[in-house]
Structure 1
Amino acid sequence: MLSSPSLSRKQISSIVRSKLRKIALWVGAVSGGKTIAANFAFLIAVREAQGTGLIVIVGKTLQTIERNIIDPLQQVELFGALAGQVLHTRGSNTATILGREVHLVGANDARSEEKIRGATIEIAYVDEATLLPVGFWEMLLTRLRVPTARLLATTNPGSFNHWLRQQYMLNADAKNMIVFEFVMDDNPSLTAQYVADMKASFTGAFYDRFILGKWSNAEGAIFDMWDPAKHTIPWADLPPMRKLIAVGIDYGTTNPTAALMLGMATQTDLYGKEHSKLYLVDEWRYESIAEKQKLTDVELSRRLRRWLADPHLPANQMQLTPDYIVLDPSAASFRVQLQQDGLLSTQADNDVLNGIRTVASVLSAGKLLVTERCPGWQKEVTEYVWDAKSSEKGEDKPVKANDHSQDAARYALQTTESIWRQHVKLAA
């Protein structure tokens, strides 16, 4: 990703000037250099802390704090000898940084503010501030009640109407805040290949936010890059599958139950270079309203397992079975039924926005193709839209309609991303 890990003049300036206000916010495109600059500023703040309050790192979850903050701080190539002074046991809610105890706080919903209520905080470092509930942010500010207290935060842009932009960035002076804005061009150490990979990974509002560094409302069709001429393939023409990665299942009683099968194929070009793509090869749906009959979990399991036993690939291919059954996390009773019937399932990653971003990335890069045996998904994809009322409130939410096959495919793709991402390259 990096050709050399040196700080730019803009990064250095932001580190120095971050002390001018109580709140310092680094915002902008992915890989613009904002997080590295903020990390250095945080290390300096920890070193200079007077010990009058707690030091905390806040993120959406403990896992995202570890991935986005702790792991980079431990990279010797970025932080030299300082990396050895960042100590953390995976899964622990504390770390030792430069000899100081640092508390790691996940803030994934409004109830999370209870974790810091009553605390006195001297240094707070917030990862991805736009993902925090506004109530948590406001509670955090009330905890910064010593004269030396500071808040450092990083984020990618969000909705044009997001509370962080409307209430704080546009009133920075009144809020005792300084804002540093970064774009990818501010990071000269990025390689051309990495920039190409990133530009191929996003489209629409996500491209505006993560590549251009702009605050942008999500509007209209969610997968506006969908093109049947580009993204469909006849089932009979499927290339040999390397594996069937997963079946994603969205469970419904009154609503449809949908199952989408995700495969991956790798082909070699004339120069011996391998190219992998993902395929939605097959689909199963049961719609109780259309069938005028609700099924019990027992019967639903029987029909799903019967479908799983059918051939899902053309006759000229080896008939594979999916490695994972990825199930709607709300489908507790159905999970138990499947287990009783001998079918183990994995709980789906239901981070909706990240999942949508993942699906959009592979579609935008032309790395996801869909066969005619997935009619439910193809029907829904043009009807799956952003909720305009949520956008007005600064929130990114899809309309809860025409989403059953969409959710099933998203579960399969998002939950298994660590498996296929090492093979599927998104550069154009």
Structure 2
Amino acid sequence: MSLSDYLTPKQLKVLHTYLHDDFDMLVLTGAIRSGKTFIDNLLFLFELQRVAQMAKANHDKHPQYILAGASSDSINKNVIISCENQFGINFKLDRHCHYKLFGVDITPVSTKTLGGLAGARGFTSYGAYVNEVTLGVEPVFQEIQQRCSIDGARVIADTNPSNPEHWFKKDYLDNKKKKARMIQFHFTIDDNTRLSKRYIEGIKARTPTGMYYDRAIKGLWVTGEGAVYKDFDERKMVIPDKDVPTSFHKYIAGVDWGYQHFGSIVVFGVDDADRWYLVEEYTEQYKEIGYWTKIAHQLQKKYGRDMPFYCDTARPEHIDHFKHNEINAKYGWKSVVSGISIVASLMKQGRFFVAQNAPMKFLEEIYNYRWDDKAEDAVVKENDDCMDACRYAIATYIHDEEQHSYYPTNSRKNISSGLKRFGL
């Protein structure tokens, strides 16, 4: 068997370019689940072997290589664990929290904040692999490039698209200078020919129209304009209380803290068909934590003491207060755009409903909840209190469930045998 039995035509094209073309930076951008990270993880292993050979020629006994990602957790999940599962590769971790493979010292660098500069400075690198570039800040990415100063050093990077005004697109992808020696590949979800037809059809049908579809499916760098939840239809989604199920498979609550801004607690019921119903909402201004604790206790009596309350993490002392009062408070998932995408997807699929007598501020907010055209991937911080509470409840629960159910589908044994010819 050859690698063509395991790689898609687009991935094979990337591999051919890697093996035969001259470049200083190779960037893969595009849709979700399109196969970018898989092929880049493979190129990462090839790069480590190439670096080991370069170091031997340079009589360098301790060659260093940068492995960068938004956080240490994302580096571990997206690259290290994936390589181990997919290719049967075992990385050794030393006392400095550096990985070792093929005699190369792999230095992790976090790119999400300027704190990552400390991890990138003070040494010379034979190259770098930067996962999910757009989740990082530009000074750290620039520092990584500058560290890769050994003759023959190369940078490999991948990312899903973001706002077209993002620094990575404007400063790097749009740079057409030949001396930049940068090669780019654009992926759509259809480039992943190893995905089932059913999955592709389903994800296309479930992905909200507009920005979400263009980025996730087509892999385009587009902006979000206007209303956040374009697929919300009051005529179909706000239903009489008599049509709301009398019992649910589970209940989920979301909490957005506030004082001058409105605070909000919402409760969703989820039925056996995984349809979400907003059954209660409390949105108030100038209320202390004692008030919200009282509301939470009332909701516990009604929906069960084990009902999770996914909370805004901006006020950890309030979360602690809930916990001390025997409320099942949990930290909410704070990824705004990804969270909005999950909620919007439920609306598009016809799995989002609102009990007619439940809303207090929901209907007012949802029609005034808008993208900020002056900031990248951000919403206007107005009319967002109930919206945030809804997002914490729905997106955190669904995100956590997806994380728990994830398991690599690639055959480690088969792929490993396909890589033996390359000495991996």
Smaller-chain TM-score bracket: 0.7 to 0.9
CA deviation map 1:334-377 (0-9, x unaligned): 22332333324111111212211221222222222222203322
1:27 to 6, 26, 29: 29
2:380 to 399, 408, 414: 399
Give 1:291's aligned residue: none
Give 2:351's aligned residue: 367
> In the superposition, relative to structure 1, how do residues 119 and 287 fare at CA in structure 2: closer, same or farther (>3 Å)?
same
> In the superposition, relative to structure 1, how do residues 240 and 58 fare at CA in structure 2: closer, same or farther (>3 Å)?
farther
Aligned AA (1:332): P
1:345 to 318, 329, 334: 329
Distance 2:70 2:24 in 1: 22
> In the superposition, relative to structure 1, how do residues 152 and 241 fare at CA in structure 2: closer, same or farther (>3 Å)?
farther
1:261 corresponds to 2:259: no
1:159 corresponds to 2:163: yes
Structure 1, 254-263 or 173-182: larger mean CA deviation? 173-182
CA deviation map 1:242-281 (0-9, x unaligned): 4334211000121111011122101xxxxxxxx3222222
1:250 to 251, 256, 275: 256
CA deviation map 1:274-301 (0-9, x unaligned): x32222221112222xxxxxx3323442
Distance 2:318 2:25 in 1: 47
1:301 corresponds to 2:293: yes
Distance 2:340 2:92 in 1: 32
Q: Is the 8 A contact 1:297 1:333 kept in 2?
A: no
Q: Is the 8 A contact 1:240 1:265 kept in 2?
A: no
1:388 to 354, 366, 373: 373
Distance 2:251 2:297 in 1: 19
1:336 corresponds to 2:320: yes
State the secondary structure of the residue aligned to 1:42.
helix
> In the superposition, relative to structure 1, how do residues 120 and 279 fare at CA in structure 2: closer, same or farther (>3 Å)?
farther
Aligned AA (1:280): L
Structure 1, 247-256 or 373-382: larger mean CA deviation? 373-382
State the secondary structure of the residue aligned to 1:72.
helix
State the secondary structure of the residue aligned to 1:74.
helix
Q: 1:4-153 counterparts in 2 under 5 A?
A: 6-18=6-18, 20-49=22-51, 50-51=54-55, 53-76=63-86, 83-87=87-91, 93-98=97-102, 100-153=104-157
Aligned AA (1:192): K
Distance 1:228 1:321 in 2: 31
Distance 1:95 1:363 in 2: 43
Q: Is the 8 A contact 1:247 1:322 kept in 2?
A: no
> In the superposition, relative to structure 1, how do residues 197 and 256 fare at CA in structure 2: closer, same or farther (>3 Å)?
same
Structure 1 residue 382, shift from structure 2 partner: 1.3
Aligned AA (2:185): F
Distance 2:225 2:97 in 1: 38
1:181 corresponds to 2:186: yes
Distance 1:88 1:356 in 2: 38
Distance 2:97 2:394 in 1: 29
CA deviation map 1:43-72 (0-9, x unaligned): 111111134642222111222223322333
Distance 2:136 2:73 in 1: 15
> In the superposition, relative to structure 1, how do residues 219 and 178 fare at CA in structure 2: closer, same or farther (>3 Å)?
same
> In the superposition, relative to structure 1, how do residues 422 and 327 fare at CA in structure 2: closer, same or farther (>3 Å)?
closer
State the secondary structure of the residue aligned to 2:186.
strand
Q: Percent identity?
A: 27
Give 2:235's aligned residue: 229
> In the superposition, relative to structure 1, how do residues 58 and 299 fare at CA in structure 2: closer, same or farther (>3 Å)?
same
Aligned AA (1:348): G
> In the superposition, relative to structure 1, how do residues 243 and 106 fare at CA in structure 2: closer, same or farther (>3 Å)?
farther
State the secondary structure of the residue aligned to 2:80.
helix
Give 2:340's aligned residue: 356
After superposition, the CA RMSD in angstroms is 2.6
Structure 1 residue 99, shift from structure 2 partner: 5.4
Distance 1:108 1:296 in 2: 34
TM-score w.r.t. length of structure 2: 0.84
Structure 1, 401-410 or 36-45: larger mean CA deviation? 36-45
Q: Is the 8 A contact 1:276 1:423 kept in 2?
A: no
Q: Is the 8 A contact 1:218 1:386 kept in 2?
A: yes
State the secondary structure of the residue aligned to 2:361.
helix
Aligned AA (1:21): F
Give 2:245's aligned residue: 239
Q: Is the 8 A contact 1:221 1:382 kept in 2?
A: yes
Aligned AA (2:145): L
> In the superposition, relative to structure 1, how do residues 336 and 157 fare at CA in structure 2: closer, same or farther (>3 Å)?
closer
Structure 1 residue 422, shift from structure 2 partner: 9.5
State the secondary structure of the residue aligned to 1:121.
coil
> In the superposition, relative to structure 1, how do residues 61 and 171 fare at CA in structure 2: closer, same or farther (>3 Å)?
same
Structure 1 residue 212, shift from structure 2 partner: 1.0
State the secondary structure of the residue aligned to 1:369.
strand
Q: Is the 8 A contact 2:64 2:104 kept in 1?
A: no
Q: Is the 8 A contact 2:130 2:156 kept in 1?
A: yes
Structure 1, 144-153 or 234-243: larger mean CA deviation? 234-243
Distance 2:257 2:157 in 1: 38
> In the superposition, relative to structure 1, how do residues 140 and 359 fare at CA in structure 2: closer, same or farther (>3 Å)?
same
Aligned AA (1:185): D
Q: Is the 8 A contact 2:282 2:360 kept in 1?
A: no
Structure 1 residue 400, shift from structure 2 partner: 0.6
Structure 1 residue 118, shift from structure 2 partner: 1.8
1:204 corresponds to 2:210: yes
Structure 1, 408-417 or 7-16: larger mean CA deviation? 7-16
Q: Is the 8 A contact 1:244 1:322 kept in 2?
A: no
Aligned AA (1:276): D
Distance 1:364 1:40 in 2: 36
